[in-house]
Amino acid sequence: MRSVCLWLVCLLLGGLLALPAAAQNKQPPPKKTRLLFLLDASGSMLAKWETSQRWAVAKTMLARMADSLDTYANLEIALRVYGHQSAANLKNCKDTKLEVPFAAHNAGNIKKKLQLITPKGNTPITFSLEQSANDFPPDPNARNVIVIITDGLESCGGDPCATSLALQKKRVFLKPFIIGLGEDPGYAQQFGCMGQYYNASDIKTFQKVLDNVINIALKKTTVSVELTDDAGRPVETNVNLTFLNNVTGQPEYNFVHYLDAAGKPDELEIDALRSYNLLVNTLPAVELQNLDIKPGRHNVFKVKVPQGYLYLRQDAPTSYGSVTALVRQKGDVNLLQTQRFPSQQKYLTGTYEVELLTLPRIRKTVTIRQGQATEISFAPPGALNITQDMQGYGSLYLMHPDGSQEWIWNLPEGSSKISVPLQPGNYRVVYRIKSAKGSKFTDVKNFTIKSNLTTTIKLFN
């Protein structure tokens, strides 16, 4: 029995010791990609294109593409077609249908369906986009991609750009790829706002564009972020990085920046089908907008974030308890950070206004320099002691060398008997008893506070 217990203890300890290593090497499971081809089968697709028809070319190349995609793991493809169920004179603006739902190894079904379709009617792109939202099975971890192949503009008065943007904000599918067949100057204007637009003016270009789109959708894309100092050297690290979807504003990735032993940042795999802003969460944060990410390759982004330290030094406990400092960028009324004594915190290089929540408050302007620590401390407080227990109204004032006074605190109305920590300096108390019948019965007393000493005063004495 004892040997069994020892075996269990060893097994448990071994498992616990293995947890950190497992956590370091844990990789997220590969995401499933769903690729929807949204194909134009309006009447204009029967037009001649070089030595063939637009429809014949599109059908052949799409069938060939489906075959090549059948070998990919974690990939499902589907086919939605519009403009193929009603004649053009019927002006059917709801002529769209999911002809082949999502499935793995779906090439055979798509090729069969393509052979049964004949182009006929209008071009209801907007309505088809709206219906496409229902084609993707619910899965928050899937990559949902739509590829629109069309030879015409919206013919039903819809706004495909607004629809595309609304769907992206709902995370229904990623920014669509649009392949325009033929040379229509209106394509770029209408489709450029929807997503990534490609002009396939001839058959050879169409083949290249289709291949390129698939490569973008399926190839691995990585980024490295170099956090540089004032001299442009990539030496800053250990900072949180957030890749924000610049359509939805939501965070897509959160990383803590890392430099290896050679001083190089690691490579981060991201989904190039989304568009991003990079937020470097320094104090204050730095944002790099509209990252120009080249899909299917490694991308390097440099962000200038030189940093130094603000060191709040407190040599011994004080009667304040834990003292907090309010930190603002110079000239900015907005609070940047609260920092407690004693502590050390990184900030971007620059000038800051620091307000210590002592009594009275201490305000200092400091400059943070690259790689250096700027120190702030405060003198140990003394204490003001009022021994009388009276009800009334009064205030404490700090006396400046020029004779002016600055209000710092109101005495409690319920009792004047207090012991209050104060910074060393010259002060004044102004007090009137609640029962006094006039302002002329106000008492004014000046006193001095010294570090680590108690000053006792008596009112009306």
Nearest to 395 by CA among 361, 432, 422, 426: 432
Residue 434 has pLDDT above 50, yes or no: yes
Q: Are 232 and 304 in contact (CB under 8 A)?
A: yes
Q: What is the chain's mean pLDDT, rounded?
A: 90
Strands 286-288 and 276-280 come out as antiparallel
Superfamily name and number for 33-218: von Willebrand factor, type A domain (3.40.50.410)
Please state the rounded mean pLDDT for residues 137-149: 88
CA distance 295 to 156: 34
CA distances from 120 to 40, 90, 186, 258 (A): 10, 10, 22, 57
pLDDT at 298: 96
Q: Does domain 220-304 have CATH number 2.60.40.1120?
A: yes
pLDDT at 398: 98
pLDDT at 48: 92
- For 19, the enclosing helix (H) or strand (E) is helix 2-25
- Band of pLDDT at residue 156, cut at 50, 70 and 90: confident
Strand order in the sheet with 405-410: 405-410, 392-399, 425-433, 443-449
pLDDT at 176: 80
Please state the rounded mean pLDDT for residues 188-213: 83
* Percent of the chain at pLDDT exceeding 70: 92
- Give phi and psi for 85, each to the nearest 5: -105, -20
Over residues 315-337, the pLDDT tens digits come to 888 999 899 999 999 999 999 99
Residue 14 has pLDDT above 80, yes or no: no
* Percent of the chain at pLDDT exceeding 90: 67
Instruction: Look up the pTM and report it.
Output: 0.79
pLDDT at 140: 80
Nearest to 383 by CA among 298, 448, 301: 448
pLDDT at 301: 98
- Band of pLDDT at residue 28, cut at 50, 70 and 90: low
Residue 350 has pLDDT above 90, yes or no: yes
pLDDT at 4: 45
- Band of pLDDT at residue 16, cut at 50, 70 and 90: very low
CA distance 299 to 301: 7
Please state the rounded mean pLDDT for residues 417-432: 97
Over residues 251-301, the pLDDT tens digits come to 999 999 999 999 999 999 998 888 899 999 999 999 999 999 988 899 999
Please state the rounded mean pLDDT for residues 161-187: 77
pLDDT at 310: 98
The neighbouring-strand residues paired with 144 are 34
pLDDT at 141: 81
- Band of pLDDT at residue 12, cut at 50, 70 and 90: very low
pLDDT at 13: 47
Residue 362 has pLDDT above 50, yes or no: yes
pLDDT at 42: 93
Quote the crossing angle between the two packed helices 54-69 and 203-218, to the nearest 10°: 30
CATH topology of domain 382-457: Immunoglobulin-like (2.60.40)
Please state the rounded mean pLDDT for residues 65-70: 92
What torsion, rounded to 10 degrees, do the Cα atoms 53, 59, 61, 67 define? -160
Decide whether 33-218 matches 220-304 in CATH topology.
no
- For 131, the enclosing helix (H) or strand (E) is helix 125-132
pLDDT at 323: 96
- Band of pLDDT at residue 11, cut at 50, 70 and 90: very low
pLDDT at 26: 57
Domain boundaries, the chain: 33-218, 220-304, 307-376, 382-457
Number of Cβ atoms within 10 Å of the Cβ of 230: 13
Pick the CATH number of 307-376 from 3.90.1150.10, 3.40.718.10, 2.60.40.1120, 3.20.20.70: 2.60.40.1120
Please state the rounded mean pLDDT for residues 222-231: 96
